[in-house]
Amino acid sequence: MDIFSQQLINGLTYGSLLGFIALGYTMVYGILNLINFAHGDMVTLAAFLAITIAPLAVAAGTLAMIITLAAVVVSVCIIAILLEKIAYKPLRAAPRLSLIVSALGAGMVIKNAIMLIWGANPRIFPRNLFPAGLAKFSDISVSYLSVIILLLNILVMLTLYIFINKTRVGIAIKALSTDYSVAELMGVNVNNTVMIVFLIGGGVGALGGMLIGASYTTVTFSMGFDYGIKAFIAAILGGIGSIPGAMFGGLLLGLTYTFCSGYVSSAWANTVTYLLLIILLIFRPNGLFGRSLVQKV
Amino acid sequence: MMFRINSLHVSYGGIMALDGVDCAVNEGEIVCLIGGNGAGKSTLLRAVSGLVKPAGGTIYFNNLNITNLPPYKIVPTGISHSPEGRKVFAALTVEENLIMGAYALSHIDYDVLRFIYDLFPRLKERRKQTAGTLSGGEQQMLAIGRSLMSKPKLLLLDEPSLGLAPLVSKEVFSHIKRINETQKISILLVEQNAAAALKLSHRGYVLEVGKVVLSGSSEELFDSPLLKESYLGKKR
């Protein structure tokens, strides 16, 4: 397999992982104008929960993988909802800065809880959670994990697209992210809608956390920061508040980073990537899918 | 009495915005609230629709105490609020905006949609256009149309003439009158243009710093010295 297609697949895989996390940032920002800095740590939490749950589920045999994935996703969804209820909801009418401080604090609480429960040393992610090995497409071979990640990315994108545009709750999310108080006046139940947004962001982020664990084989309690920041940048690149933007922003960042490491040098990858991103934002300040606010008043 | 407010108090961070307001709207009536900036007119509407929590007092609508209900429970009782500054969903099309207005109902009533398109033919012409591209007057008509989609019995209109040319304002007021007459929808109207508001409405209240200082039929208010001096700009 030539280097180009190898890099392409790596980039798409990495980008999809970032996209899974970016989704949570962008959806919460869209509705509450809040950068949920605790999100990266929720993603880490998912990976560590999988470390604990996977051995317990082994008894279930072939279903172990599904049971672990479901248990982790459900747990993280519940924790995400609790996070919103405890750390954000009481501050909804407060200045945005207070909310950001609360988000940073919540992130530290989660991160330190992970360290206290699972320890400060890197942990090996369970190898049996996703199928190992290579899939062959004519002369190109791709790991099963990459195939799973890419398929999940497409699945999540399509599901969310349909959910947001065709369901009642989806329309409420769209309305709330356009104009919070007017959506309220239309009869949108704000508390329920916000809860659903945290649930979706947490669930997809949890999936991302486990896939990161499987891709890089070890996880650390502090990894949420690096992935969180990169995913946050992906969300901004795509246009914060835009759901397809989060996914495509992730892919763009992943591809740029991977091609820079492949063709320039891995030491320079971050520098070159972010230089290109800054240039892109200079020309498209609202990101790829950001709303251009044409509004007559 | 279809709609009644008793001794309503609202405070923003310790500052009283409404200080014991009584007000009522009968079935089929247009009632206006007149007053300067900061008198509490918009606050009153926001308290009725549940956007702000009152510090005291009660709001009754059709014998139902709606005082502390959240907005999503108030809309289905038959109260619809068209906010100040129109606030249409700029990125959505005209028709999507109208459909959003029916969110509180379990289904879209196409008879109401047809009525709105009959009332505002320009909205029908532009139904596929995004709302942000409409003129100010058209956006106001869209905002009113959107608030009709939830089939209200009481319509709260906040400054429908704000920022519109006099001719366009006049057109908007005539539409409001038609909605009231043909659909039997009661209207609580907030307006800075006191003369136009009184001409349109049956009764009115004058608010000053959170209190009702004068109320009565529109004719009475039109002739009152206070209105003449402070709001109608006429010399005695």
pLDDT in tens, B166-182: 999 999 999 999 999 99
Please report the number of interchain residue pairs, chain A to chain B, with beta-carbon separation below 8 angstroms: 69
**Cross-chain residue pair B100–A185, CB shorter than 8 Å:** no
**Residue B236 located in a structural domain:** no
Quick one: closest CA in A to B102, which residue? A186
pLDDT in tens, A194-221: 999 999 999 999 999 999 999 999 999 9
Q: Assign domain A3-283 to its CATH architecture.
A: Orthogonal Bundle (1.10)
Chain A residues within an 8 Å CB radius of B49: 185
A296 in contact with B, Cβ within 8 Å? yes
| Residue A36 backbone class (left: φ over 0; alpha: ψ -120 to 50; beta: rest) | beta
pLDDT in tens, B94-128: 999 999 999 999 888 999 999 999 999 999 999 99
Assign B15 to helix, strand or coil.
strand
State the CB neighbour count (10 A cutoff) for residue B29. 17
Quick one: closest CA in A to B82, which residue? A185
**Cross-chain residue pair A175–B100, CB shorter than 8 Å:** yes
- The CATH number of the domain holding residue B220 is 3.40.50.300
Return the pLDDT at B26: 95
8 Å CB contact between A17 and A211: yes
Mean per-residue pLDDT of chain B: 92
ipTM entry: 0.87
Q: Which DSSP string do the residues of B94-118 spell out, in sequence order?
A: HHHHHHHHTTTSSS--HHHHHHHHH
**Residue B235 located in a structural domain:** no
A90-99, A130-139, A197-206, B60-69: range with lowest mean pLDDT: A130-139
Return the pLDDT at A138: 72
Number of folded domains in chain B? 1
A164 in contact with B, Cβ within 8 Å? no
Chain A residues within an 8 Å CB radius of B89: 175, 178-179, 182
Whole-angstrom Cα distance, residue A114 to residue A27?
25
Mean per-residue pLDDT of chain A: 91
From chain A residues 190-249, the ones with a CB under 8 A of any chain B CB are 190-191
Which H or E element spans position B22?
Answer: strand B15-25
Average of pLDDT values for B17-43? Answer: 93
State the CB neighbour count (10 A cutoff) for residue B112. 19
Whole-angstrom Cα distance, residue B36 to residue A198?
42
Task: Name the residue range of residue B39's domain.
Answer: 3-230
pTM beyond cutoff 0.80: yes
Rounded to 5 degrees, φ, ψ at B60 are -115, 135
Strands across the sheet containing B79-82: B79-82, B154-158, B186-191, B30-34, B203-208, B211-217
Residues of B with CB under 8 A from a CB of A: 49-51, 70-72, 75-76, 80-81, 83, 85, 87, 89-92, 100-101, 103-104, 130, 132-136, 139, 146-147, 150, 163
**Cross-chain residue pair A297–B85, CB shorter than 8 Å:** yes
Say what percent of chain B tops pLDDT 70: 98
**Cross-chain residue pair A186–B136, CB shorter than 8 Å:** no
